[in-house]
Amino acid sequence: MSKSNKPIKPKNAPRRPAAAVTADSPCPCGHAEAYRDCCAALHQGRATAPTAERLMRSRYSAFAVGETGYLLRTWHSTTRPGGLDLEPAQRWTGLDILGTTGGSAFHTEGTVEFRAHFTLHGRADSQYENSRFVREDGQWVYLDALPSV
């Protein structure tokens, strides 16, 4: 993901201290539900993402809880890496959805523009990306990041 200091007002900007996520914790994706009832259902295969934004939020949560298997399963087969190593010292602290295009139940492609906040070795930072999602075998998957303009 590329970094940018693009001045965009986010739709939502919850900030939480980095802490271990439990089933009863608020979901890292920013929705009000407990992790168990929100993104864990997607991570465990009990549900699928109905929209590109929902998949983006579940992928953010997967980074936060270390669900690399889910990240790889929801990556398009033509762009999926062979493996994924996450930085153990990185703590994801908040997600801002800045905008979306397409990506509904009626679309086959969509984008989600976001800023993901994190701390690494005690320093706060963020990553900006405008991600492209498509349907593969009927399910939403992450394809790639659109180039920064």
Task: Write the CATH number for 42.
Answer: 3.10.450.50
* Residue 22 located in a structural domain: no
Domain membership of residue 141 as a residue range? 35-145
- Whole-number pLDDT of residue 2: 35
| Rounded distance between C-alpha atoms, residue 149 and residue 141, angstroms | 23
- Whole-number pLDDT of residue 19: 57
pTM for the model: 0.86
Q: Which parts of the chain register pLDDT below 70?
A: 1-19
* Residue 52 located in a structural domain: yes
| Rounded distance between C-alpha atoms, residue 42 and residue 29, angstroms | 12
| Rounded distance between C-alpha atoms, residue 33 and residue 50, angstroms | 17
Sequence-separated (6 or more) residues with CB below 8 Å from residue 45: none
* Residue 90 located in a structural domain: yes
- Whole-number pLDDT of residue 148: 85
Count up the domains in the chain and report the number: 1
* Residue 1 located in a structural domain: no
